[in-house]
């Protein structure tokens, strides 16, 4: 791959819903085009959270270097701004090594922030307001804040899970501090990358079957024991991940094993549906390609890199 610093860095992006095969898709692209994978998953950044986040094994990585995985402790908070800063550094290093950066993951907000150049870091934190909102959560539950967000910023609310306390609080904080809705501040700036975006195209029924099979496998592989060993407070950002919050409920005796498996499957299906909607709406130019269309994908990439 030739390097021309006068142009924007060319990268490949593979996004999509959980269990769609995007990780294997990205690995195959990296193998063919001498690349490295830059993760874009908000939960795979955490160390020792392996089973529930679906991290690839070393065998599944097939010798391809993977970055932005296992970079912070589970007790730490990790923001979109931190991700963009760290991912840009990894992309630059990859580029300087003469490798093709392949950004891959299912966290659409991370990918959008990286590609479009926007950041919420300029909106200051208001600790007093944050504490007030956290107190409301303790007294009335997260749904109370979510309903307020739906009134003040319905577009942001539509993209945030009703149980994602951290992102709900931040969206409300942005509105209070800046007077602007978070959804209105997400399309600013100019990205510094020339990118080609792929999304694995998979039938919904097949995707849901994979999700169910993956949930069962996670439990067989020791998800419950993994959560026990983490021994984290339930309010930790990392414990909001699907699989972990449900397992925490199981360990507290709130649900039984059958309910645990079913909840993980239901919540993952709902999340996958939101991911599909997000990628279709935010990245309308993305190329949706099936697992049997690698020849078309590779030809498209060759043409893109030759431009």
Print pLDDT tens along the chain (307 aa). 444 444 789 999 999 999 999 999 999 999 999 999 999 999 999 999 999 999 999 999 999 999 999 999 999 989 888 999 999 999 999 999 999 999 999 999 999 999 987 655 556 778 888 888 888 888 888 888 888 898 888 888 887 878 888 888 888 888 887 777 776 654 444 578 999 999 999 999 999 999 999 999 999 999 999 999 999 999 899 999 999 999 999 999 999 999 999 999 999 999 999 999 999 999 999 999 998 899 999 999 999 999 8
What are the two backbone dihedrals, phi and then psi, of residue 196, each rounded to the nearest 5 degrees?
Answer: -120, 125
- Among residues 134, 181, 188, the alpha carbon closest in space to that of 160 is found at 181
- The number of CA neighbours under 13 Å toward the Cβ of 288 is 11
CA distance 144 to 157: 12
Enumerate the β-bridge partners of residue 13. Answer: 103, 197
- Among residues 40, 43, 55, the alpha carbon closest in space to that of 104 is found at 40
Residues in the chain: 307
- Among residues 78, 65, 77, the alpha carbon closest in space to that of 39 is found at 65
- Among residues 206, 210, 163, 167, the alpha carbon closest in space to that of 186 is found at 167
Token pair recorded at residue 35: 């690349």
Determine contact, residues 185/122, Cβ cutoff 8 Å. no
Q: In what order do the strands lie in the sheet with 66-67?
A: 66-67, 35-39, 100-105, 9-15, 193-200, 287-289
Reported in sequence order, the residue ranges of the chain that DSSP labels E, i.e. its strands, are 9-15, 35-39, 66-67, 100-105, 193-200, 287-289
CA distance 146 to 98: 46
Largest CA distance in the chain: 59
């Amino acid at each position: 791959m030739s390097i021309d610093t006068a142009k924007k860095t060319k990268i490949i992006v593979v996004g999509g819903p959980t269990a769609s095969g995007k990780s294997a898709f990205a690995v195959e692209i990296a193998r063919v085009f001498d690349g490295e994978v830059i993760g874009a998953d908000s939960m795979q950044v955490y160390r020792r959270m392996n089973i529930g986040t679906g991290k690839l094994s070393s065998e599944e990585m097939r010798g391809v270097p993977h970055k932005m995985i296992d970079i912070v402790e589970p007790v730490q908070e990790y923001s979109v701004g931190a991700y963009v800063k760290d991912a840009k550094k990894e992309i630059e290093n990859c580029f300087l090594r003469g490798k093709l950066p392949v950004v891959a993951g299912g966290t659409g907000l991370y990918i959008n922030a990286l590609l479009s150049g926007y950041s919420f870091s300029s909106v200051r934190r208001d600790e007093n307001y944050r504490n007030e909102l956290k107190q409301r959560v303790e007294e009335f539950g997260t749904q109370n804040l979510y309903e307020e967000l739906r009134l003040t910023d319905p577009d942001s609310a539509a993209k945030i899970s009703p149980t994602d306390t951290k992102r709900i609080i931040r969206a409300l904080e942005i509105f209070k501090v800046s007077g602007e809705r978070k959804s209105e501040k997400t399309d600013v700036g100019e990205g510094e990358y020339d990118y080609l975006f792929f999304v694995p195209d998979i039938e919904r029924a097949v995707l849901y079957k994979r999700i169910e099979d993956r949930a069962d496998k996670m439990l067989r592989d020791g998800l419950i024991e993994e959560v026990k060993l983490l021994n984290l407070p339930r309010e930790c950002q990392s414990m909001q991940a699907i699989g972990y919050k449900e397992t925490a409920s199981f360990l507290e005796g709130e649900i039984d094993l059958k309910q645990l498996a079913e909840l993980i499957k239901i919540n993952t299906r709902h999340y996958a549906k939101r991911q599909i909607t997000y990628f279709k709406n935010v990245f309308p130019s993305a190329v949706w390609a099936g697992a049997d269309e690698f020849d078309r994908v590779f030809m498209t990439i060759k043409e893109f890199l030759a431009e």
